[in-house]
Chain A
Amino acid sequence: MKALLEVKGVSRFFGGLAALTDVSFDVQKGEILGLIGPNGAGKTTLFNVVNGFYPPSRGDVVFNGKAISGLKPHKICGLGMARTFQVVKPLQRMSVLDNVIASAFLRARTRALAEEIAVETLRFTGLYEDRDFISKGLPLGKRKRLEIARALATRPELILFDESCAGLNPTELDHSIEIIRKIKEMGLTIMVIEHHMKVIMSISDRIVVLNYGEKIAEGTPGEIKSNPLVIEAYLGESQGA
């Protein structure tokens, strides 16, 4: 196993606020790494640093053996890292198909080729029937899946899912888990932020836990479940009872 993504001592400050402090971990090729933590723990900030929206204040991000800290998001995406957004950002006045074509152009030289990739991706994510809808009018579940489709169409090696399952009903949830599993089977590496404990425990190979911007635990779902620090972060300090 070789680390696809290495996060080395990353800190990120906003003014005097430390959103991330000295966070280090690796993502191995082909695994699903879960990232959990209470609200405001710095999960999305970590994604934004990895994906290039913010340069790290300290530390380095290494992707495929190449230091990427400080590169623009489009460069990082070109190197093979895609992401979805927690607050979905569909290209609103474009149809579902056009949304995915726009991102497929990263690897496709012609329009026909881009459309081919887009159609294939839409079938994979189960959005093909909705391809002509303007994405503004899609229900949340489908918009979340559109985010996944768009990320996939850039043909990445690593995908960052930022709460792609939040706010879904049970049927949609199963569908999304199914898609994430299938993406793993295709040989892609996945990093996922998720609040839904059942989901994260069942799909992750390993889990990293953040609290107040610091990494407090790392391990298999079984180890994480019984880690006292994690329980404390989520449930509060025990009163000795």
Chain B
Amino acid sequence: MKRILPPVILGLLAILPLLGLSSYWMHIFILVVMWSVIGMAWNLLGGYCGQVSFGHAAFFGVGAYTSGILYTKAGLSGWWGLPLSIVAVTVSAIVIGFICLRLRGPFFALGTLAMGVILRVTAENLRGFTEGDLGIMIRERTWTEKTWYFYIILGIAGLTYFIVRKVIESKLGYYFVAIREDQDAAESLGINTTLYKNIALCLSAVITGVAGAFYTNYMGYIDPKVVFALHDISIVTIMVVMVGGVATFWGPTVGAMIMVLLAELIRSIPKLGAAHHTFFGILLIVIIIFLPNGIVGDLPKLRRILRLGRTL
């Protein structure tokens, strides 16, 4: 059952575009799948390895700008950004890891947060390279239909799920969790904590960067305020995982679904729509208090609450 679930869900999602959904709904589904990719990536570092990053926008942005700059400066198709962002993001992850991974706990979180902001300010000011606040526009859209964009991000998501699963079930996964639970104990068990934390960061960063490169090609326009955003990227990434379930395989996907749909729902409410960040904040507090392991992580608890509600 557990073994066939991922291909079944992937298969069901793959027939979505055949249902003749409106362009708006395809857009929503593309966003859900993209956020689940970013969530799975963050989960690898924050959920399993216990290094909570508040700066994943840095990697998303570097990935996005790799695509954008290849297009504007090298005249290549933005799609080259997908493979090439792996190189650019790995380099930036190694630099950020060198600086931040010597810090523990909240200090690491603050360090990554600062890195995200630094990269945003840099992208805003390196006008000759990034076009600054004007942003980068991809003038030729590859497809006007959304179908192929959906299949591309779905492919990335499937691959990400597969990689995360393989990593977590291997030696790497055991080492990540050991580091999360007790760094000193892990070190004394012969685990090179610095090395494995860097591996977790690089893996997580690269997947996030690929999602960023996809974003550039899909949206056709990026600017520093969007792709290096603290609350719209870094914080939402954490929320996706927290709501869905930290250190679970399906948590990020469930979280992405809820967050994207909820955002659309709240934005469509007249007058209250502008306050969607407030609603997210309240949701996060409720989740942390009642379902600290997220919806997937606290599924048994959630079932119990629902059953109780029915009998009352």
Chain A residues within 8 Å of B, Cβ to Cβ: 51, 53, 72-75, 77-78, 82-83, 85, 89-94, 98, 101-103, 105-106, 111, 114, 150, 154
Contact = CB atoms under 8 A, between A and B. Distances in A.
Given A73-B187, A77-B188, A150-B189, A91 B181 contact: yes
Given A91-B177, A91-B181, A94-B181, A111 B171 contact: yes
A89 B192 contact: no
9 contacts: A73-B187, A73-B188, A77-B189, A82-B189, A94-B177, A102-B177, A105-B171, A106-B191, A111-B171
Nearest to B185: A89
B184 interface: yes
B190 interface: yes
B189 A72 contact: no
A106 B174 contact: no
B159 to A, nearest CB: 22
Given A91-B177, A94-B177, A101-B174, A78 B190 contact: yes
A103 B190 contact: yes
Contact of A98 (B170, B174, B191): B174
A51 B169 CA distance: 29
Give the residue among A53, A90, A91 with the most B Cβ atoms within 10 A. A91
A82 B188 contact: yes
B193 interface: yes
A90 B177 CA distance: 12
Interface of B: 169-171, 174-175, 177-178, 181-182, 184-193
A225 to B, nearest CB: 33
A233 to B, nearest CB: 29
A114 B173 CA distance: 13
A85 B171 contact: no
A89 B187 CA distance: 12
Contacts of A98: 174, 177
Query: DSSP class of B's interface residues: helix, strand, loop or mixed?
Result: helix
Contacts of A150: 185, 189
Given A102-B178, A105-B175, A53 B193 contact: no
Nearest to B194: A72
Contacts of B170: 111
4 interchain residue pairs of minimum CB distance: A77-B190, A91-B181, A89-B185, A106-B190
Given A91-B178, A94-B178, A111-B169, A74 B185 contact: no
Contact of A91 (B169, B185, B192): B185
A51 B178 contact: no
A72 B192 contact: yes
Contacts of B174: 98, 101-102, 105, 114
A105 B178 CA distance: 12
B150 to A, nearest CB: 35
A188 to B, nearest CB: 16
B185 A93 contact: no
Contact of B187 (A72, A93, A114): A72
A111 to B, nearest CB: 7
B51 to A, nearest CB: 16
Contacts of A111: 169-171
Nearest to B174: A102
B181 A74 contact: no
A102 B182 CA distance: 12
